Chain A
Amino acid sequence: MSGDILTVLIAMLGGAIRVSTPFMFVALGECLTEKSGRVNLGLEGTLVLGAMVGYAASYHSGNPWVGVFAAGLAGSALGAMHGSICGLPRVNDVAVGIAMMLFGVGVAFFFGKPYIQPTAPRLGSISLGFWSDSASLKSALQVNPLFFIGIILALLMGWSFRNTRWGLVVRTVGDSAAAARAMGISVNLVRLLTTTVGGFLAGVGGAFLSLSYPGSWNQGLSSGQGLMAVALVIFARWDPLRCIAAALLFGAAGALGPSLQSIGITQGYYFFNAAPYILTLVIMIATSSAKHSARDMPGELSMAK
């Protein structure tokens, strides 16, 4: 019995590392965008398009890192589209996000059909379990380099928000557009840039889905990870490092079902599939309040009051 629990825990650790990586990238991208005072709900579409483009580019070029970069470019194209449309007066960023989500998913499915069958080269992993004799621990510690890139990015982003001129500009635009304008900053330009870079990161997250874990391209690849990552940013209180922690938590929740399956518990498979959504909803309920806006929320954000 205790062996089973250990197996589940090790599988969940490995699963958390694998499953959390796309969450991490989407959440970091959304964190940057929201820091500048705009919401991009369309990152679910960006994630799916990134997965498709990444897979296709890896297949054609033979190099998975070309795929990662191409996925980022596709993501930034969608981000730039969202950013420029929302720069127009009277346009609602939440609604545009919904439209971009449907558009991104549609485009990904449209062009992705020929890539469901062929096999593209995947991203390699770094073995961190060399010190252990346990085969399950070794396989759990097969970590993709993108995981570390995500953590480094989060550290860098958190540091830049506090210590650089660019960080100050983004935060000012996010907290008070009027103050930013008074400083001579172009609010729309800053938001366009943050949404574009945010789209790039979400696209890279998509490439992880198709090129590492689960590691293939099909239409059911992402079901709501992009959306959950957006919700996660609220929970992480717009702090890149807390985004990483929240992503790991979500990864562990997502890994719960497959981990239990590994020791033969298959009952309630669909319940465990729903676990990440339910966890997201519970976390949103627990961290929101009707009386005041969420803690540390950028003042210009339209999504909560």
Chain B
Amino acid sequence: MSNAPLATGAPGDLIGTGSRKAGSDLALKLRVNSEYVAIPLLALAIAAALFALFLLAIGKSPVDFVDYVWRGGFGTAFSFQNTLQRSAPLILTALAVAIPARIGLIMIGGEGALVLGGFVAAAIAIPMIGVVPPLITLPIMIVFAMVVGAFWVGLAGYLRYARGVNETISSLLLTYIGIAIMNFFVEGVLRDVSNPNKPSTKPLGDAYMVGKIPGTDVHWGFAVGILLCIALYFLLERTTFGFAARVTGGNYRAALAQGLPVGRLIVTCCAIAGACAGLAGFFEVAAIQGRANASLAAGYGFTGILVSFLARHNPLVIPPVAILFGGIVAAGGLIQRRMGLPDATVQVLEGLIFVVLLTSETLYGRFSIFKPRAGNDRT
């Protein structure tokens, strides 16, 4: 669709299919694909160095910063479980960026789908509390959250296909609209009047909350996120649907000429993406907050964009990257208290990483070490 190159996953299967020697085949694959690991890591290192300089310039210690990120996000069993818990919405909102990216769209509406999904899950559950048992209520909440999320991002995909509306702008507009819709209800008809604090819906109550994974302090959203990453990886890489989607993302006109149902492919990919983000909203409501309010719009959807780009839109790489950023987000409070830095520090770091990462796109193909040697089968 867009003429400009969009980062996609490592095109591992482009290389080596013609070679007969299996051993050198693997070595070649490794050599070529290592570029897709090395350059993002280099970008991370450069961004970290720039951020360290930034901290030094304002008179703070980068060593302390790393120390607090470690202690607040990874160092203890408690903090690591907190990190995993925070990485759950990041995994799901990153999927909401990664799937449309494979079909050539830069979709950044995950935040809106998360907020609306979470809100609708709470709104649908409230009249059922005490009437319908939790075992029936929770699946209904999940379905509604996913359907609303799927509709929200699917709409941006449909508008792109049917009307040529720029999906990046429309998905972000839909995010603002989604947040306004939630505020409209949460401060209006659905407001819990007995709660004088933050305008919120009525609480779900403990019986209607999603539990923790046994033996841990991490809610089920994390496990569901990992499973979805694996499932969607297989959908994209090992099915005809995924192949058709990748062809459409690679060359829109060729896909049209081949007679691929591009409209259906685009809307389906976007709907899957939105369903993931909506699910993230469900878990934020039913496993963390216990009610829907403005805290749902905590920026997970925006950090998820960065996670997906850093993972090169590969679902299998999303979980480790999400855990890294989950840790940084989790340590945010500690950094704020102990180092006297504003809460936007994490945002600055994320923005810096994002900018450096996208700049590093220019490095691909410039290092001969990653290139197949002359004389190999590939021309």
Contact = CB atoms under 8 A, between A and B. Distances in A.
Interface of A: 41, 81, 85, 88-96, 98-100, 102-107, 109-110, 113, 223-224, 227-228, 230-231, 234, 268-271, 273-274, 277-278, 280-281, 284-285, 288-291, 293-294, 302-305
Nearest to B344: A109
A274 B359 contact: no
B163 A288 contact: yes
Contacts of A94: 2, 4, 106, 168
Contacts of A224: 172-173, 176
B355 A103 contact: yes
Nearest to B352: A103
B167 to A, nearest CB: 10
For B6, B173, B354, B359, the residue with the greatest tally of chain A CB atoms inside 10 Å of its CB is B173
Contacts of A302: 2-4
A3 to B, nearest CB: 28
A109 B332 CA distance: 14
A280 B348 CA distance: 29
B355 A99 contact: yes
A294 B169 CA distance: 15
A294 B163 CA distance: 11
B163 A289 contact: yes
B342 interface: yes
A223 B176 CA distance: 8
A278 B173 CA distance: 8
B344 A106 contact: yes
Given A98-B108, A98-B305, A290-B161, A281 B177 contact: yes
Given A92-B358, A99-B357, 14 more contacts: A85-B358, A92-B6, A94-B106, A94-B168, A102-B305, A103-B352, A110-B347, A110-B348, A231-B169, A231-B173, A269-B184, A281-B170, A288-B166, A305-B3
27 contacts: A88-B359, A91-B362, A92-B7, A92-B106, A92-B358, A96-B355, A99-B306, A102-B302, A102-B351, A105-B351, A106-B348, A109-B342, A113-B344, A270-B184, A270-B188, A271-B180, A274-B177, A277-B176, A277-B177, A277-B180, A284-B166, A290-B162, A290-B164, A302-B3, A303-B168, A305-B1, A305-B3
A111 to B, nearest CB: 8
Interface string B28-68: 00000000000000000000000000000000000000000
B355 to A, nearest CB: 5
Interface in B113-168: 159, 161-166, 168
Nearest to B252: A305
Contact of A227 (B173, B188, B350, B365): B173
Nearest to A108: B344
B79 interface: no
Interface of B: 1-7, 106, 108, 159, 161-166, 168-170, 172-174, 176-177, 180-181, 183-184, 187-188, 302, 305-306, 309, 342-345, 347-352, 354-355, 357-359, 361-362, 364-365
Nearest to B348: A106
User: Interface on chain B toward A: helix, strand, loop, or mixed SS?
Assistant: helix
A88 B362 contact: yes
Nearest to B355: A99
B42 to A, nearest CB: 15
Contacts, number: 163
A285 B361 contact: no
Nearest to A102: B351
B5 A92 contact: yes
A281 B163 contact: no
B173 A277 contact: yes
Given A274-B180, A281-B174, A288-B164, A90 B5 contact: yes
A285 B163 contact: yes
Contacts of A96: 355, 358-359
Contact of B354 (A93, A103, A305): A103
B125 to A, nearest CB: 22
A102 B350 contact: yes
A100 B106 CA distance: 15
Contacts of A91: 358-359, 361-362
Contact of B173 (A89, A280, A303): A280
A156 B261 CA distance: 47
Contacts of B184: 268-271, 274
Contacts of B362: 88-91
B169 A284 contact: yes
Contact of B351 (A106, A268, A303): A106
A99 B354 contact: yes
B1 to A, nearest CB: 6
A230 B342 contact: no
B346 to A, nearest CB: 8
The winner among A81, A92, A302 for most chain B CB atoms within 10 A is: A92
B176 A274 contact: yes
B140 to A, nearest CB: 26
A230 B169 CA distance: 8
A285 B176 contact: no
A270 B347 contact: no
Given A103-B354, A109-B347, A303 B305 contact: no
A270 B164 contact: no
Contacts of A290: 161-164
Contacts of A278: 177
Contacts of A303: 2, 166, 168
A303 to B, nearest CB: 5
